[in-house]
Amino acid sequence: MVMTTHEEKMRTVRFRVAATPHIVVNSDICRASCSIHACVYVCPANLFVPLDDGGILFNYEQCFECGTCYIACNQEGAIRWSYPDGGYGVTFRES
């Protein structure tokens, strides 16, 4: 079908999940000084979940490694990222 939910989109993408996360969110900073939570909206993989206490829960396993969260985050140092180990992470086949 043409119209798809986000879950259906994500099911078409192949990931080889690394043992350690390549993105780390310092939720203390999110709680202390972020009110906009830009990461929650802009992430194309929808990996950032806002918590009731103002923190952010992050799941690195289905990350496109695009860097948008890092660029959008206006809180100094809340998101630290690098690339996953070689051969791990997203593997596009068609795009």
Partner 1 sequence: MSVATASEVFDVIVVGAGPAGSTAALLCARAGLKVLLLERGEYPGAKNVSGAAFYGSAILNELIPNWWEQAPVERYICRRDIAFMSSTTSVALDFHCAAEGYTTPPYNGFIVLRPRFDRWLAAQAEAAGAFLLTSAVVDDVLRENGRVVGVRVRREQGEIRGKVVIACDGVNSFLAKKVGLQREFHAHELSLGVKEVLGLDPAIIEDRFRLSGDEGIAYEYLGAITEDVHGGAFLYTNRDSLSLGVIGQVSSLVERRKRPYELLERFKAHPAVAPLVRGAKLREYSAHLIPESGWTMKPTLYTDGMLVAGDAAGFCLAAGLYLEGMNYAMQSGLAAAETAIDACRRERYSARALSGYRKHLKQRNVSTDFRAYRHAPAFVNSARLQNLYPEVVASGMEQLFRVDGSAKRKILPLARQLMRQYQLKPGELLRDGYQVVRAYLW
Positions in the binding site for partner 1 (CB under 8 A): 1-4, 6, 8-10, 12-13, 16, 36, 38, 41-42, 44-46, 64-68, 71-72, 74, 82-87, 89-95
Smallest gap from residue 2 Cβ to partner 1 (A)? 5
- The residues pairing with 24 across neighbouring beta strands, listed in sequence order, are 80
C-alpha 90/C-alpha 13 separation (Å) is 8
Smallest gap from residue 48 Cβ to partner 1 (A)? 11
Residue whose CB is less far from partner 1, 55 or 84: 84
Strands 14-16 and 89-91: antiparallel
How many other CB atoms are there within 10 angstroms of residue 48's CB atom? 22
Residue whose CB is less far from partner 1, 26 or 38: 38
